[in-house]
Structure 1
């Protein structure tokens, strides 16, 4: 069998969201931030592949930032495990962080930071620092789903990844002729995806629903993950699927 990997996009128009080639609607960017009314700030951070036991969040003794790290273990056919790191913090000298709450589900961390403002007339500023920062994705871009900074022909690597692949797609042919595919769809529950095959194209869809009233909205993923060199169909039930922590993995058998 001969495989053609990847998704088919028009390079002239580019991608809806440069953080994930499968995202077709909803909030763009690896992170988003919202200032709340009660001296708190909301952060959404995509950490696909990270289980609850792989997340660590701690308040720095300076009370200026929190350290967020996540470990996404290597699946059998992944190229490697992935490690994430990010430091959400404050830049003004009139405030200090007093605590935080976390909610990690389906590869998305929702983080609420609480602060004490010693000078109430001043405004809190948040800064996101990455252990290894790449690309143009810096706060405050990304809070607007229509922000053109996150649209274009070039895909960006996840800036929070400091070990392993920062891209949302991975594929390789196995020794038995099957094709292995990893697709990041952060926020999608393990039951909210479909896999279909038509004319040799293997396609996936997934929905990341709103789970917090702070979310800007649902996100929807869709795209071709593999194409045969000839238009041969494979019954979808023959494709092994593993959905966990916002990552969909497929093992597509040879024909």
Structure 2
């Protein structure tokens, strides 16, 4: 039984087969507003903090993804920053909602310099690391356990708990997830991948695979065959 090599992504989840690419999405709204979607797989709503700096020129999003299973490599921490790059505007209001490992942010700007027309210029920065400071842009991790089981974690942000499907066929374990388009998302997202190759072209009842699904992350315990 072999795990698929670990997935690394700087801009797009490797399991995404259809839908908007990238772990963030920006859209300008009416009334000088902005919509931002940010993927924070594994982060529950209570572990998100959004802060506007006193000058109202930048907004920071802090998010923590706790270890859910004892075999998780580490806690993950995220930081995203949105900044205005002009002198004429400031951020004045924001609201957000967190669900299934995705944060959706509504942000508005106001003009503080009447001599200039309102602009739409901004800069975005994103960082991800584990609690020790190691890079954590990995969407997949696996661990062979002493009892013969294989532990696998996959990030599929935006997928509700009941939209995951796990199947075993022809010696492969496949995970598929459908993330619906919410709010101002430009479209739904479909994830799918064969995440484990078994030792032979065997099938076994799916109930033998234990799953933990939480905050856009699915964890599998796959028995030996």
The residue number in structure 2 matching 1:112 is 106
Matched with 2:129 is: 162
Structure-2 separation of matches of 1:174 and 1:88: 41
The answer as to whether partners of 2:35 and 2:106 remain within 8 angstroms in 1 is: yes
- How far residue 234 of structure 1 moved from its aligned partner, in angstroms, is 2.2
* 2:218 corresponds to 1:230: no
Give CA deviations for 1:36-75 in whole Å, capped at 9, x if unaligned.
1111111110000000111010111110011101000012
Contact 1:200–1:234 (CA under 8 A) maintained in structure 2? no
- TM-score in terms of structure 2 length: 0.91
- On the 8 A contact 1:44/1:110 being kept in 2, the answer is yes
Consecutive unaligned residues of structure 2, counting only runs of 5 or more, are none
Deviations 1:80-115 (A, max 9, x none): 110000111211110011110001100000111111
Structure with the higher strand share, 1 or 2: 2
TM-score, normalised with respect to structure 1: 0.81
Shift of 1:30: 1.1
SS at match of 1:204: strand
Distance 1:190 1:197, change over 3 A: same
Separation of aligned partners in 2, 1:99 and 1:174: 48
Match of 1:125 in 2: 121
Q: Separation in 1 of the partners of 2:44 and 2:124?
A: 22
| SS of residue matched to 2:161 | coil
**How many residues are matched?**
217
Q: Pick from 200, 218, 223 the counterpart of residue 248 of structure 1.
A: 218
SS in 1 for 2:160: coil
Partner residue of 1:218 out of 188, 194, 205: 188
- Structure 1 residue 18, shift from structure 2 partner: 5.7
Partner of 2:63: 70
* C-alpha distance in 2 between matches for 1:126 and 1:234: 52
User: For residue 174 of structure 2, what is the aligned residue in structure 1?
Assistant: 203
